[in-house]
């Protein structure tokens, strides 16, 4: 697949690589992400067989350049896989494995096989002998990752480090959806590293972009399932979707889902440009996307639960798998206020005459 | 499954347009010379601001009807270039109100449904900024329920005789022509949309009385337009008799998705940044960032619809969504702006901010009424979702 991203955008037919990836992933997850697997994951077990199936299709590596083991799919197309992950409320670290691979490839560090993690925050130092000491937190699926990617202080400046799993002390934790989200400690651990090709703020923004994409996918699913439910559930002798109050809420939900999808597309393009070390950088597009998708997740989640009534408040019903992860992804790599402040500062600094140009540049 | 978009609504990424990017610089130069010196309050009027001389200036540059065929005074440029022109004009607060309706929807309707003679006679005048249009849809008893209009045109000889009353007709006193939507056949309760037609009405015809209706600020934009035995020539019919409903709804994707649907309050945001900038605190930054995120996202949605229109698609649902979301942001801006700025000494900047805040606050209720109310838009979206 050689067509550039610009080609893929101007000609919908040329979006083949992305569409193929998404369909492959969608089919696989529809078949294999069974209630049993989810239950095992929720009980703390690693669903290794499902991960192996994803891996076999090359999905976690799809984002990588060919030289690093990928198949040269445009980065924005590969990222669109994350909307599928969101649509299935995927309880696996696909996003962080993709992002870690992308970051390690850019730094020229060998990519360990298997699931990877990117720390949302860290305080790690690397000594002159290449040994890492410190802690990292907000590490999704950290206990299952083969390596945790962090930005650390090296002897000669910032370095990207892949903390190897065997040397990590893990403090297990869970995010609000019940997925693993751990803290890790290292003490004088030899770790592969390289001078950081980007700063910690960029890595955090790229992480935020992955969550924006997953939120967009999850909101799409939530909107569709809520409309479906409203058409099925009957009260007062008719489907509740025939009541205008319910219709108006569903229209708002669909608007929020559409808005999240558009914002996520903006983030994907920014990450693609960043991965190719071109373009205006991750800001302000990613900041805007994380704010917008996070707000959409908040509004969308509330409406979906309202329309589903009590059944949607049960463990058995699938709704909470999506709304729980929407809440978790909303929080991960910076909440709305954090990114709104980043974006707001950027816009205010642009000044009254620079405000509009700053918006059109995003 | 499309790229990042919904299973139910499609907002594909706007196609890249290098020509539009180059055009943007040219437009910004023009606006720096023509608009930047205007007072903040004038610029805040956005597409309500009337300045026929400015409209003619745009016409002289070929900037009205940019996409239309050259033989009708257009430039045959792309829809995305036109989009850039519109958003730059609005963001700068240029007084575009005189020609706005004619350029946005009347001209395109003529292009689509007009006879060759109608097109040749009218389009070049719109493109020159010399012919302005108003919309004759609403009536005293027909607002959201447009199909219930009672204004009626009866055949008489080879022409028509019109009786009835239109209301809320923006700028009628400044316009040359109206596109009138009215009944030409009997009301059939089973098929309420049948029996309606559209006409090109010369507003100087005998029997037409235009009375101003002042808005809550005291401005005169609205009008009541009364038709008493007005005789229209046969060639005043636009499109086909009885097809009025399909024609009128065809206009709506153009009417609802443009940048004016999320930029009506933009000048207030500019004035807000002006007063905040010397000492913006975290609260101000966060509030600005949230609004910025909305605007950046809406702009992309709106450009996506422009791309779809250019590709010949019918994004009526997406357009309804842009307008619904856009009005929310336009109405949030004054609410948030007033909260971020405390009172203080009346510096020129503070005074400009206060004027623009008052103007925008008082006009904000109309943003979710004009062009289809919030509830009606959400009903359209719900139908698109497969409800009802
Ligand atoms: C600034 C401005 C400029 C305008 N310019 C023009 C113009 O140039 N030409 C023109 O023809 N018209 C114009 N209009 C009129 C505009 O199109 C109407 O205001 C609009 O269609 C709503 O009609 P209405 O005001 O009669 O309200 P109504 O239709 O009476 O609605 C009142 C309220 O009831 C709600 N409602 C109505 N029906 C339903 C329903 N089925 N379900 C749920 N809620 C419902 C509405 O959403 C609204 O909240 C303009 C309006 C404004 C505010």
Give the DSSP per-residue string, A246-307.
HHHHHHHHHHHHHHHHHHHHHHHHHHHHHHTT-TT-STTHHHHHHHHHHHHHHHHHHHHHHH
Sign of the torsion formed by the C-alpha atoms of B104, B109, B111 and B116: negative
* Segment A275-284, tens digit of pLDDT: 887 666 798 9
A13 has pLDDT over 70: no
Q: What is the mean pLDDT of chain A?
A: 93
Q: What is the rounded average pLDDT of the residues A204-213?
A: 98
| Three-class secondary structure of residue B239 per DSSP | coil
Q: Where are the domains of chain A?
A: 3-195, 200-361
Q: What is the rounded average pLDDT of the residues B249-259?
A: 82
The alpha-carbon gap from B274 to the nearest alpha carbon of chain A, in Å, equals 5
pLDDT at B260: 94
Beta carbons of B305 and A262 less than 8 angstroms apart: no
CATH topology of domain A200-361: Butyryl-CoA Dehydrogenase, subunit A; domain 3 (1.20.140)
Residue B38, both tokens: 């205007």
Residues in chain A with CB shorter than 8 Å from the CB of B273 are 347-348, 350-352, 355
Name the pLDDT band for B343 (thresholds 50, 70, 90). confident
pLDDT at A311: 97
Of A219, A312, A310, which is closest to residue A263 (Cα–Cα)? A219
Q: How far apart are CA B309 and CA B342, in angstroms?
A: 44
Lowest mean pLDDT among A192-201, A205-214, B4-13, B279-288: B4-13
Q: What is the rounded average pLDDT of the residues B288-296?
A: 98
B3 has pLDDT over 80: no
> Least CB-CB distance to A291: which of B273, B293, B304?
B293
Q: How far apart are CA A60 and CA B224, in angstroms?
A: 64
Q: State the first-to-last Cα distance of chain A, in angstroms, to the nearest integer.
A: 28
CATH number of A3-195: 2.40.110.10
Q: What is the rounded average pLDDT of the residues A143-152?
A: 97
B249 has pLDDT over 90: no
Interchain CB contact of B276 with A (< 8 Å): yes
pLDDT at A10: 39
A14 has pLDDT over 70: no
* Segment A210-257, tens digit of pLDDT: 999 999 999 999 999 999 999 999 999 999 999 999 999 999 999 999
Give the residue on A whose Cα is nearest the Cα of B381.
A251
User: What's the Cα-to-Cα distance from B201 to each of B136, B165, B232, B245, B312, rounded to whole Å?
Assistant: 9, 14, 7, 17, 29
* Segment B198-235, tens digit of pLDDT: 999 999 999 999 999 999 999 999 999 999 999 999 99
Interchain CB contact of B211 with A (< 8 Å): no
pLDDT at A95: 98
Interchain CB contact of B277 with A (< 8 Å): yes
Q: Answer with the residue of higher pLDDT: B224 or B250.
A: B224
Residue B343, both tokens: 């009172």
Tell me the percentage of chain A whose pLDDT exceeds 70.
Answer: 95
pLDDT at A4: 33
* Contact flag A263-B300 (C-beta cutoff 8 Å): yes
Q: What is the rounded average pLDDT of the residues B306-330?
A: 93
Give the residue on A whose Cα is nearest the Cα of B388.
A242
The alpha-carbon gap from A231 to the nearest alpha carbon of chain B, in Å, equals 7
Residue B205, both tokens: 């015809």
pLDDT at A17: 82
B7 has pLDDT over 60: no
Tell me the percentage of chain A whose pLDDT exceeds 90.
Answer: 88
Identify the burial level of A55 via C-beta atoms within 10 angstroms of its C-beta, where 0-12 means exposed, 13-18 middle and 19 or more buried.
middle
Of A295, A294, A302, A327, which is closest to residue A249 (Cα–Cα)? A302
Of B256, B80, B254, which is closest to residue A9 (Cα–Cα)? B80
B257 has pLDDT over 90: no
Beta carbons of B272 and B338 less than 8 angstroms apart: no
Interchain CB contact of A257 with B (< 8 Å): yes
Is the distance from the beta carbon of residue B148 to the nearest atom of ligand 1 less than 6 Å? no
Residues in chain A with CB shorter than 8 Å from the CB of B326 are none
Which residues numbered 281-320 in B keep a CB inside 8 Å of some CB on A?
282, 284-290, 292-301, 304, 318
Q: How far apart are CA A96 and CA A63, in angstroms?
A: 12
* Contact flag A344-B91 (C-beta cutoff 8 Å): no
Q: Do β-strands A131-140 and A181-190 pair in parallel, antiparallel, or remain unpaired?
A: antiparallel
| Three-class secondary structure of residue B176 per DSSP | coil
Name the pLDDT band for A98 (thresholds 50, 70, 90). very high
> Least CB-CB distance to A292: which of B24, B285, B294?
B294
* Segment B19-60, tens digit of pLDDT: 998 999 999 999 999 999 999 999 999 899 999 999 999 999
Of A74, A135, A78, A65, which is closest to residue A104 (Cα–Cα)? A65
Name the pLDDT band for B295 (thresholds 50, 70, 90). very high
pLDDT at A280: 65
Q: Which of B23, B293, B301, B319 to mutate to test the interface with A (most CBs of A within 10 A)?
A: B293
Interchain CB contact of A261 with B (< 8 Å): yes
Q: How far apart are CA B3 and CA B315, in angstroms?
A: 17
User: What's the Cα-to-Cα distance from B288 to each of A166, A205, A341, B43, B204, rounded to whole Å?
Assistant: 45, 19, 8, 20, 48
The alpha-carbon gap from B353 to the nearest alpha carbon of chain A, in Å, equals 12
pLDDT at A279: 62
- Residue B352: Cβ within 10 Å count: 20
Tell me the percentage of chain B whose pLDDT exceeds 90.
Answer: 89
Mutate to test the pocket of ligand 1, among B138, B151, B227 (most ligand atoms within 8 A of CB): B138
């Amino acid at each position: 697949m050689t067509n550039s991203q610009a080609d893929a955008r101007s000609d919908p037919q040329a979006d083949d690589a992305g569409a193929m990836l998404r369909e492959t992933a969608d089919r696989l997850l529809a078949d294999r992400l069974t209630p049993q697997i989810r239950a095992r994951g929720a009980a703390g077990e690693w669903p290794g067989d499902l991960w192996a199936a994803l891996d076999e299709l090359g999905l976690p590596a799809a984002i990588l350049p060919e030289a690093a083991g990928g198949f040269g799919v445009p980065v924005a197309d590969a990222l669109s896989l994350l909307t599928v992950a969101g649509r299935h409320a995927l309880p696996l670290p696909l996003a962080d494995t993709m992002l870690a691979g992308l970051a390690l490839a850019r730094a020229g560090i060998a990519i360990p096989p298997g699931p990877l993690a990117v720390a949302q925050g860290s305080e790690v130092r690397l000594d002159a002998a290449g040994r890492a000491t410190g802690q990292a937190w907000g590490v999704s699926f950290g206990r299952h990752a083969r390596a945790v990617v962090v930005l650390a202080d090296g002897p000669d400046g910032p370095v990207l480090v892949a903390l190897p799993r065997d040397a990590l002390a893990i403090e297990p934790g869970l995010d609000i959806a019940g997925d693993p989200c751990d803290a890790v400690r290292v003490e004088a651990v030899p770790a592969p590293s390289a001078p950081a090709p980007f700063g910690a703020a960029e890595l955090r923004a790229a992480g935020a972009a992955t969550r924006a994409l997953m939120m967009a996918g999850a909101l799409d699913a939530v909107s569709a399932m809520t409309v479906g439910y409203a058409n099925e559930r009957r009260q007062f002798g008719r489907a509740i979707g025939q009541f205008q109050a319910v219709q108006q809420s569903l229209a708002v939900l669909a608007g929020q889902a559409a808005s999240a999808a558009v914002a996520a597309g903006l983030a994907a393009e920014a990450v693609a440009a960043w991965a190719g070390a071109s373009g205006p950088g991750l800001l302000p597009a990613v900041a805007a996307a994380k704010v917008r998708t996070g707000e959409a997740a908040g509004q969308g989640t509330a409406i979906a639960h309202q329309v589903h009534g009590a059944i949607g408040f049960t463990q058995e019903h699938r709704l909470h798998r999506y709304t729980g992860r929407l809440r978790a992804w909303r929080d991960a790599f910076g909440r709305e206020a954090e990114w709104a402040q980043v974006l707001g500062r950027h816009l205010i600094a642009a000044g009254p005459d620079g405000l509009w140009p700053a918006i059109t540049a995003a | 499954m499309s790229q990042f978009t919904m299973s139910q609504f499609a907002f594909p990424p706007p196609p890249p347009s290098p020509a539009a990017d180059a055009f943007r610089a040219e437009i910004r130069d023009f606006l720096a010379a023509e608009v930047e010196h205007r007072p903040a309050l004038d610029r805040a009027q956005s597409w309500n601001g009337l300045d026929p001389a400015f409209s003619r200036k745009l016409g002289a540059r070929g900037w009205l009807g940019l996409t239309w065929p050259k033989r009708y005074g257009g430039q045959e440029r792309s829809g995305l270039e036109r989009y850039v022109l519109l958003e730059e004009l609005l963001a700068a607060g240029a007084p575009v109100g005189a020609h706005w309706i004619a350029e946005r929807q009347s001209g395109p309707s003529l292009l689509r449904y007009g006879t060759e003679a109608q097109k040749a006679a009218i389009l070049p005048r719109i493109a020159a900024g010399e012919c302005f249009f108003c919309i004759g849809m609403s009536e005293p008893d027909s607002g959201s329920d447009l199909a219930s209009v009672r204004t009626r045109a009866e055949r008489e000889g080879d022409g028509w005789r019109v009786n009835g009353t239109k209301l809320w007709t923006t700028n009628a006193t400044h316009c040359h022509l109206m596109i009138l939507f009215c009944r030409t056949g009997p009301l059939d309760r089973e098929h309420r949309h049948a029996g309606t037609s559209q006409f090109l009405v010369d507003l100087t015809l005998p029997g037409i009385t235009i009375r101003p209706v002042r808005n809550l600020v005291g401005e005169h934009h609205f009008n009541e337009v009364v038709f008493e035995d007005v005789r229209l020539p046969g060639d005043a019919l636009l499109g086909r008799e009885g097809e009025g409903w399909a024609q009128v709804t065809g206009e709506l994707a153009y009417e609802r998705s443009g940048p004016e649907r999320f930029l009506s309050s933009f000048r207030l945001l500019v004035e807000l940044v002006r007063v905040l900038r010397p000492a913006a605190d975290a609260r101000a930054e966060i509030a600005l960032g949230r609004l910025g995120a909305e605007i950046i996202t809406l702009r992309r949605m709106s450009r996506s619809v422009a791309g779809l229109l250019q590709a010949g698609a019918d994004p009526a649902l997406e357009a309804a969504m842009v307008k619904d979301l856009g009005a929310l942001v336009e109405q949030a801006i004054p609410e948030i702006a007033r909260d971020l700025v405390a009172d203080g000494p009346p510096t020129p900047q503070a005074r400009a901010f206060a004027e623009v805040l008052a103007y925008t606050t008082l006009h904000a209720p109309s943003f979710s009424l004009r062009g289809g109310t919030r509830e009606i838009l959400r009903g359209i979206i719900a139908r698109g979702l497969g409800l009802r």
